[in-house]
């Protein structure tokens, strides 16, 4: 899978913040033009003792949700955990894993945020510039913004919005993927809008709260950390 080099990786938080401010204007939030038939997920597992990141990417087919391909990568941890700068810690390893895919997906999901981010440039938005594909953040908790709890039924959706200088801005959605569980928080990353992102997430979610591409990627990342080899 092709990765487009966008920038050099900064060594500290000040450089990372400046880069987010510079790049966020390149993000395009537009409707996804076609129905997805192959969707990837990418996730990272950590080993704090060894300061290593174990990343995996998995592609699933729609509507069967069959896993078509998996790619894994291992990398040294080079950037500390800083709230709002998640991409600088995880994205290099995630891009290594995604680069190993032969299958080009129609969209890629990340366990993080897109424009539902204090600087409107979360992990999924950052990744979208490198991939030049529709990217989606699908997180378990809110980083910024407010929402009403959606109804307790699959497919129920409410807006995730931020109050700013230009008034109320919708940056994502709280999506109930399964009754009896908390919603996931979906936000567009790049080359997709909120409605299209919600549609893709629901299409690739089966019996569990988490979408299948992210579940498959998480399993592979944890297995790699446990001793599997790339």
Separation between Cα atoms, residue 28 and residue 226, nearest integer Å: 38
Quote the pLDDT of residue 150: 97
pLDDT band per the 50, 70, 90 thresholds, residue 88? very high
Q: Is residue 31 part of a domain?
A: no
Quote the pLDDT of residue 83: 87
CATH number at residue 49: 3.30.2170.10
Average pLDDT rounded to a whole number, residues 223-227: 90
Q: Is residue 134 part of a domain?
A: yes
Domains: count for the chain: 1
Domain that holds residue 119: 36-225
Nearest to 83 by CA among 141, 127, 128, 138: 141
Q: Is residue 82 part of a domain?
A: yes
Quote the pLDDT of residue 59: 98
Quote the pLDDT of residue 33: 84
Q: Is residue 12 part of a domain?
A: no
Quote the pLDDT of residue 51: 84
Average pLDDT rounded to a whole number, residues 116-137: 96
Within its chain, how far is the Cα of 10 from the centroid? 21
Quote the pLDDT of residue 81: 85
Assign 110 to helix, strand or coil.
strand
Work out the percent of the chain whose per-residue pLDDT is above 70: 98
* Helix extents (H) in 26-122: 86-99
Q: Is residue 29 part of a domain?
A: no
Quote the pLDDT of residue 229: 55
Assign 160 to helix, strand or coil.
strand
Quote the pLDDT of residue 174: 98
pLDDT band per the 50, 70, 90 thresholds, residue 228? low
Q: Is residue 93 part of a domain?
A: yes
Q: Is residue 181 part of a domain?
A: yes
Q: Of all helices (H) and strands (E), which one includes residue 93? A: helix 86-99
Q: Is residue 127 part of a domain?
A: yes
pLDDT above 80 for 30: yes
Work out the percent of the chain whose per-residue pLDDT is above 90: 86
Which tokens go with 80? Answer: 């500390």
């Amino acid at each position: 899978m092709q990765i487009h080099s966008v920038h050099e990786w900064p060594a500290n938080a000040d450089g990372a913040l400046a880069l987010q401010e510079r790049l966020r204007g390149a993000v395009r939030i537009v409707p996804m033009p076609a129905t997805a038939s192959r969707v990837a997920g990418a996730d990272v597992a950590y080993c704090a003792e060894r300061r290593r990141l174990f990343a995996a990417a998995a592609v699933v087919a729609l509507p069967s949700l069959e896993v078509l391909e998996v790619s894994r990568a291992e990398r040294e941890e080079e950037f500390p955990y800083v709230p709002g700068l998640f991409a600088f810690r995880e994205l290099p390893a995630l891009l290594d894993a995604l680069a190993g895919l032969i299958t080009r997906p129609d969209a890629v999901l990340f366990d993080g945020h897109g424009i539902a981010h204090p600087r409107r440039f979360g992990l999924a938005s950052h990744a979208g510039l490198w991939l030049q594909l529709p990217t989606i953040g699908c997180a378990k908790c809110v980083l910024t913004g407010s929402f009403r709890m959606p109804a307790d039924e699959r497919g129920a959706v409410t807006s995730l919005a931020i109050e700013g200088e230009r008034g109320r801005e919708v940056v994502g959605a709280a999506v109930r993927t399964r009754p009896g569980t908390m919603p996931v928080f979906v936000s567009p990353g790049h080359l997709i809008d909120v409605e299209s992102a919600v549609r893709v997430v629901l299409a690739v979610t089966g019996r569990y709260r988490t979408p299948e591409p992210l579940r498959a990627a998480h399993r592979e990342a944890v297995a790699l950390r446990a001793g599997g080899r790339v």
